[in-house]
Amino acid sequence: MNILGAIILAALFLLAVFALANWSVLTEPTTLSFLAFNIDGPLGVILLGVTLVLVALFALYALTLRTHMLMESHRLNQELQAQRKLAESAETSRINELRTQIDVRMDAAEQSMKLAINEATNSLAALVGEMDDKIDRALARGGN
């Protein structure tokens, strides 16, 4: 309970104590005018009753307001959870798509490297073969 609730309860308690202490004055009959007619009745009790009805109406209003706030909070929480799940699934989808793109690029890079290695191997083999031929010719000339 917050401080405002404690103050309201204290004020209601003081009103009850005041009403009990002055009950004989509150119940004293008085002529009450309702513009069109007059009646005799206890003005204090009527005013006390009106005050209690207003307090009850205010409490009902506060309870209704609190209930609507809690229901709205619950609805917003559900929407937040749904949006969170949607964001997580979108993130998972993006990660999977990124993984696929990386795999495609890695495969392309691997193929490119294999091709480059094959070309380098063929060039090196041709160069070695050419050098071997030159050495054979040089040895054949040198032996004559």
Q: Which two structure tokens, joined as six digits, stand for 124?
A: 């090196």
**What pLDDT, on a 0 to 100 scale, did the predictor assign at position 141?**
87
For 86-104, write each residue's pLDDT tens digit.
Answer: 999 999 999 999 999 999 9
Residue 144: the pLDDT is 62
- Parent domain of 73: 10-112
pTM of the model: 0.56
Predicted local distance difference test score (pLDDT) of residue 12: 87
> Hey, what's the torsion of the CAs at 123, 128, 133, 138, to 10 degrees?
130
Identify the band that residue 39 occupies on the pLDDT scale cut at 50, 70 and 90.
confident
Q: Domains in the chain: how many in total?
A: 1
